Structure 1
């Protein structure tokens, strides 16, 4: 907590409101005609299979324009706003496998693709509700609370992406908020609630690979500095903390609950939240250290081949060259 106060200027430089983000759309990355041409020439040169998606590396192909675009996105993701919205690829007329390949190569040009869920994890409604069964929000259609990805102390993507292959019939909007903005408001207005956000909290072990992890070995703070990144990191999803405490046979204190209530309130303030609607072929990359995200509930098309489908990628992206 002391480090956060000492680094307040750095925190403020990563803080933003909806008005800020709407007024400076540097985070919107356009896939131009030259990049589409370069990629079209690439996909015409070989057969794309699911196996290719799992094994291809950035150095296997010659896509300098795509690499340049990915570097621009990386700068936005690691910069003030902490996200990049990649648009324009859907206009190229590519099929689903080709679109997934573009996404994989874009991700690889930014960093390492983690395989915790496989390189790509399909985000679609599987009929679950995370509130009643231990499944990730990615397998449900209900509204998600504001959160960051991964409940694991050991497994942490500092960047992740969502590729929209098919939008929902209704709803499913992505919501983004600055974790540094949330910290600043709490520090300025209710500083007595900060200590509970900087102490270790149990997290439910629902991330693949953590099945055998003892719950007592899976505790870490909501806010930290220099632990999961070189700077500030927000790691939060209230539901997995509450169920983690249940699994540990422990109880949250009144101070913990009050702090979580306040954090939820600030994260959900209309003035702090930016909404982004993803069209087919569009990608949203997040800095998983500084941006919390959410998704509104959605209604699917009745046809199976039109149901909402996104592909998620977890990445480790170098913070400096």
Structure 2
């Protein structure tokens, strides 16, 4: 067992003997761009079911956070969502829904429909220290400057990362004037390409990697923790990656600088993620919903130029979701997820957090 920079490093869940992963989770963006097989357009019947279910749910409860799957009876759309959730969990790792009903509805009605959509995917998890179960992805830097705000509350470019939850969903209400593309890449493809080029670097990412918690420190925990980037468990690759938090961990005196092999491995991962031969870009239109499997997909967003009118500014709603049939996770994930129990893991929870569904960004 080796020791590097004062941290004990050992393989958590090592790679398969063959090295590469393979399977439906390995894909290349340009191939998918041509096929469009990852896009599902809601039918008029499914849209009508969603609207009717929203009206029923609102007649039963005034609080969105209290609404459950049983409040949203959607026979056809419900089956569709469960089938596509399975595809996201066990297939290519993502899907883009189109034609979600956002026109001619007020904000609370849209939020209620989106919440109902989410109940068929998994349980909603807190997305920040404020306990937001419904995230508002928009630029608020001119209205509410806070150094602790996450990047999704700005216009800036967001680097490739995975979120600390099983699945993430984004509903587009308004698109940017220019830019704001969503770009995704398969971590399975990155892993296998890395294994071809530099298996020594891939193996390094199966060892412990320190990460900063920033201000998101759970009760009884320290300011940093250790978790491999790559984990292989029960025949599936599980990734956890956010380079910024990994690099910030070095600021803690008991962590120290990254070892050279780790730096090289992280740089190669970044290089592969940013390779046009690997990634897939999409420009959201109003009514689009992107659903991603965070253990399988890395995502980023390009910088964007917004509209001057407040009512036209880029605006997306976000859900972090934990499905009951989620993948088994290594116990080490409990350091970030709180627990590894499917349906009850992930998100941001610190002392004093009160989970709720806000109807504004701040």
**TM-score, normalised to structure 1's length?**
0.87
Task: Give the whole-Å Cα distance in 2 for the aligned partners of 1:193 and 1:235.
Answer: 16
Aligned residue among 136, 139, 144 for 2:153 = 139
User: Any conservation in 1 of the 2:183–2:282 contact (CA below 8 Å)?
Assistant: yes
Seen in structure 2, the aligned counterparts of structure 1 residues 46 and 149 have a Cα distance that, compared at 3 Å, is closer
Counting matched residue pairs gives 309
SS in 1 for 2:252: helix
* Alignment correspondent of 1:154: none
Seen in structure 2, the aligned counterparts of structure 1 residues 120 and 176 have a Cα distance that, compared at 3 Å, is same
Task: Give the whole-Å Cα distance in 2 for the aligned partners of 1:50 and 1:312.
Answer: 21
Task: Give the whole-Å Cα distance in 2 for the aligned partners of 1:196 and 1:306.
Answer: 46
Matched, 1:27 2:38: yes
* Alignment correspondent of 2:240: 235
Matched, 1:121 2:126: no
SS in 2 for 1:161: strand
Task: Name structure 1 gaps, 5 residues minimum.
Answer: 151-156
Aligned residue among 221, 224, 230 for 1:223 = 230
Seen in structure 2, the aligned counterparts of structure 1 residues 255 and 49 have a Cα distance that, compared at 3 Å, is farther
Task: Give the whole-Å Cα distance in 1 for the aligned partners of 2:76 and 2:103.
Answer: 16
Seen in structure 2, the aligned counterparts of structure 1 residues 81 and 166 have a Cα distance that, compared at 3 Å, is same
* Alignment correspondent of 1:267: 273
1:222-246 CA-partner distances (Å, limit 9, x unpaired): 11123xx972111111111011221
Matched, 1:204 2:212: yes
Q: Using the TM superposition, name which of 109-118 and 239-248 deviates more.
A: 109-118
Counterparts of 1:284-295 in structure 2, within 5 Å, are 284-295=290-301
CA deviation after TM superposition for structure 1 residue 114, in Å: 1.4
* Alignment correspondent of 1:181: 189
**TM-score, normalised to structure 2's length?**
0.77
Seen in structure 2, the aligned counterparts of structure 1 residues 158 and 248 have a Cα distance that, compared at 3 Å, is farther
Q: Write out the 4+ residue segments of structure 1 that deviate beyond 6 Å after TM superposition.
A: none
* Alignment correspondent of 1:319: 326
Task: Name structure 2 gaps, 5 residues minimum.
Answer: 1-10, 328-341, 343-362
Q: C-alpha root-mean-square deviation of aligned residues, in Å?
A: 2.7
Task: Give the whole-Å Cα distance in 1 for the aligned partners of 2:189 and 2:171.
Answer: 26
* Alignment correspondent of 2:339: none
SS in 1 for 2:290: strand
Task: Give the whole-Å Cα distance in 1 for the aligned partners of 2:39 and 2:184.
Answer: 14
Counterparts of 1:1-321 in structure 2, within 5 Å, are 3-6=14-17, 10-45=21-56, 47=58, 51-90=62-101, 93-117=104-128, 118-127=132-141, 133-150=147-164, 157-206=165-214, 208=216, 210=218, 213-216=221-224, 218-226=225-233, 231-249=236-254, 250-317=256-323, 318-319=325-326
User: Any conservation in 2 of the 1:90–1:282 contact (CA below 8 Å)?
Assistant: no
Task: Give the whole-Å Cα distance in 2 for the aligned partners of 1:230 and 1:56.
Answer: 36
Task: Give the whole-Å Cα distance in 2 for the aligned partners of 1:209 and 1:246.
Answer: 16
CA deviation after TM superposition for structure 1 residue 72, in Å: 2.6
Seen in structure 2, the aligned counterparts of structure 1 residues 12 and 62 have a Cα distance that, compared at 3 Å, is closer
